Structure 1
């Protein structure tokens, strides 16, 4: 394998992104150099990921970029589409925000990582296989090489995407929300891997909502708001002494700084299960597990990635059958009032249908008024213009807010939130949980949440159930 070319710097100046005649990102400027990664923080929809895709040359249809984006002397915005695609994997690699969309559902993960070594780097089958196994072992999946993406948790799929991006060996690595859905140990492992990429001479641009990740990566931090870079400077200065009002609010909204929540006394169980057991192949996820979620309470399940947290919630909803055990729900309640918020929001929306069509179908089916949806959109900070976009044309955070809005429109009595705010910045996460907590208090909603954030669970959960690895 030939050693990849190493570039010295990425320079962004006067970057502007337009949707038709509307400017949605304006005057973004920063320099990324060896040993000094850049991390962009900010609200969902603030333009962070669009900046990354403008650099990559992979903006969604209908969007255009202008300004200066140079990798050394190579003008990334000046090339033809063919020249842009020729850089992908070889010069620039992106770790996308949604592993659900990044992985081929019909191919085992060994093939998806191994083909990069074979066809991008030209290795023979044996050498490519060894490199593939090394890559997957380094992200903790050395024993799952034969698995398909649907057999893995969301966090595991993210680690596969990380292994594939590392295998590409490009000079510039763009990591878009690389640690979402990962427990603290795996998150720290990913950060260590990204730091290794920097130490090996790669340029690193990271998009994240996780303030702890930004602090651990060091280098430079930029804070984006409404398409503008409102603060930029050394990581310790921005985190310890933010100057812009939004930057201060963002850092203050970290769950570690939330006040503890007091909920009223919970009512009768809305759903419960006893003696649950589940295995996949030879692997036992849990055995003899009991759980009950009552009206007006928040139950959190925490544990490492792949330990069975999501499977428990799916069993309570009837989406997965346990190998043994019994599930009971309160009688006389419509199935539509038992709802789920998916960890990967694209899994919950038809990809080729606009959000207006999706919500229109829902409202007609359940005889609900558009006024209800519009009022909820305002409350969730979602503009009307987003309705005419497809799911892949809005940010992951915006799509997750649409998913939460849609679930609450159906007046659920039980809501299974599977890492429901992992794509949201701390400010938006705090606002969304305020709405969910209000539903718990006022409607008697029973909320079961799966999270890797121990601090979040400790602040808002009535009870915490811990699953072992």
Structure 2
């Protein structure tokens, strides 16, 4: 009989603001078992993971019992919890950008898994772990700082850190959201081969179907169904489970046609761009050309670290290219020769980005209503609108993205990462920009929210906006986009 790795018994969690996040959650995970949690963003999955690690915010009330190796986690002293984290319980955080120390190298970030327990890191351990997870030139790249790594690469660094000590349990919160399909399998296979127990939190139902042994479906902080993976997918019992599975099979929503009469709103001409670190050049974009017309939805997918996010930063003129030009609305906006912005359109809301790090893109001091309506306060917009009007608009946008129950005066720290992602999308839609450039806009979203958001992009395109979407979800792009490109070797392939 398999030994139990962790047991949750009647776990309830209430935050300091009075919000009930979890209600009487009970299940156990056997050694070597992959147990998955699924449900809409904000339903309590990450809260449960943080409860198991003892890292919930101060003044959060937790009742019930969580035991690992007969050690009680709930209300345990901090010293005991620090001894468990890393050695006994590995954790892959949902936000790889926030997990890394920006002033430390990636090698330092991974090696900290040993140093925090006063253990000397084994020689070449970080390099070996990164190589096993598909990072090329690992020895050189691990000496870089996190800001030059893509989200998918940082996610793999977090996985390497979490599995450093072969812990008895790995809690993986969306560990593959920024990875392509091939790397998804590499990561999950590496977990399964260790025979470590895994608590897997993911919105990728295809991945869960393949790798999870059992699944718990959570809605509004309660488990509505728990069963083997085969039973959940072949014979779901609860209506909510059936809705999730149905939404995971997207049908084509893109019905508009794009003709030559549609105005070209964005054009990249012979774009080239590279980064130099320690005299080593990494050329990500090579003489790339692209035209996008009004009302068109363009999808771009490709391997993690291939340059997709870099391309979006160039198209939005957040960065200027080493060579080539970016044109917005028929005007040259960025030029590699002058290395400066040449058009006011980039600054006047003609194009608006949705960043991959949604949490980092939201001002932590601002209320949600202020964040969503920020584009309406730009200097070029006249007349300025009142606070009451802004709150009404924010409320409408929250309803559109499925967050009607979110308090307008809440701060980003009170929301889940998936909810923050939808707030960032609501902000972009509020701008009514000619172009929306979205970097992994659905990576942290459940299948129901994902379908809703993509439908909103389609509506924006029908009104004339051009949409550029970078995603690892190739089937999703093919369902909603007019054109889909694969990024490879610094260029785009149809």
- The reply to whether TM is greater than 0.5 is yes
Q: Distance in 2 between matches of 1:173 and 1:165?
A: 7
Q: Distance in 2 between matches of 1:7 and 1:120?
A: 26
How big is the shift at 1:186? Answer: 1.0
Q: Distance in 1 between matches of 2:455 and 2:371?
A: 25
Q: Distance in 2 between matches of 1:219 and 1:444?
A: 46
What residue in structure 1 maps to residue 336 of structure 2? Answer: none
Task: Provide the aligned length of Structure 1 versus Structure 2.
Answer: 456
Greater helix proportion: 1
DSSP 3-state at the match of 1:411: coil
Q: 2:272 aligns with which of 259, 277, 292?
A: 277
Q: Check if 1:15 corresponds to 2:11.
A: yes
Structure 2 CA distance for partners of 1:39 and 1:121, relative to 1, 3 Å: farther
Q: Check if 1:196 corresponds to 2:193.
A: yes
Any stretches of 5+ residues in structure 1 without a counterpart? 1-5
Q: Check if 1:167 corresponds to 2:164.
A: yes
What residue in structure 1 maps to residue 227 of structure 2? Answer: 233
Q: 2:41 aligns with which of 31, 37, 44?
A: 44
Structure 2 CA distance for partners of 1:363 and 1:325, relative to 1, 3 Å: closer
What residue in structure 2 maps to residue 296 of structure 1? Answer: 295
Q: Which moved more, 1:68-77 or 1:402-411?
A: 68-77
Higher relative contact order (CA 8 A, sep 6+): 1
How big is the shift at 1:317? Answer: 0.9
Any stretches of 5+ residues in structure 2 without a counterpart? 332-343, 490-494
Instruction: Give yes or no for contact 2:268–2:291 (8 Å, CA) kept in 1.
Output: yes
Q: Distance in 2 between matches of 1:363 and 1:317?
A: 19
Q: Distance in 2 between matches of 1:444 and 1:361?
A: 22
Alignment RMSD (CA, Å) = 2.1
How big is the shift at 1:166? Answer: 1.1
Q: Distance in 2 between matches of 1:447 and 1:257?
A: 19
What residue in structure 1 maps to residue 175 of structure 2? Answer: 178
Q: Distance in 2 between matches of 1:448 and 1:356?
A: 25
Q: Which moved more, 1:69-78 or 1:385-394?
A: 385-394
The residue correspondences of 1:251-330 to structure 2 (distance < 5 A) are: 251-254=245-248, 256-259=249-252, 261-266=254-259, 267-281=262-276, 282-330=281-329
Q: TM-score, normalised by structure 2?
A: 0.87
Q: Distance in 2 between matches of 1:380 and 1:29?
A: 31
Q: 1:130 aligns with which of 124, 135, 144?
A: 124
DSSP 3-state at the match of 2:225: strand
Q: Distance in 2 between matches of 1:257 and 1:215?
A: 17
**Deviations, residues 293-331 of structure 1 (Å, cap 9, x unaligned):** 110010111211111111111111111111111111115
Q: Distance in 1 between matches of 2:238 and 2:81?
A: 35
Q: Distance in 1 between matches of 2:152 and 2:300?
A: 15
Structure 2 CA distance for partners of 1:214 and 1:337, relative to 1, 3 Å: same
Q: Check if 1:74 corresponds to 2:71.
A: yes
Q: 1:464 aligns with which of 475, 484, 494?
A: 484
**Aligned structure 1 segments of 4 or more residues deviating by more than 6 angstroms:** none
How big is the shift at 1:62? Answer: 4.2
The residue correspondences of 1:219-230 to structure 2 (distance < 5 A) are: 219-230=213-224
Q: Distance in 2 between matches of 1:26 and 1:172?
A: 23
How big is the shift at 1:363? Answer: 5.2
Instruction: Give yes or no for contact 1:288–1:325 (8 Å, CA) kept in 2.
Output: yes
What residue in structure 1 maps to residue 105 of structure 2? Answer: 108
Instruction: Give yes or no for contact 1:273–1:292 (8 Å, CA) kept in 2.
Output: yes
Structure 2 CA distance for partners of 1:349 and 1:447, relative to 1, 3 Å: same
How big is the shift at 1:45? Answer: 0.4
The residue correspondences of 1:401-412 to structure 2 (distance < 5 A) are: 401-412=422-433
Instruction: Give yes or no for contact 2:113–2:161 (8 Å, CA) kept in 1.
Output: yes
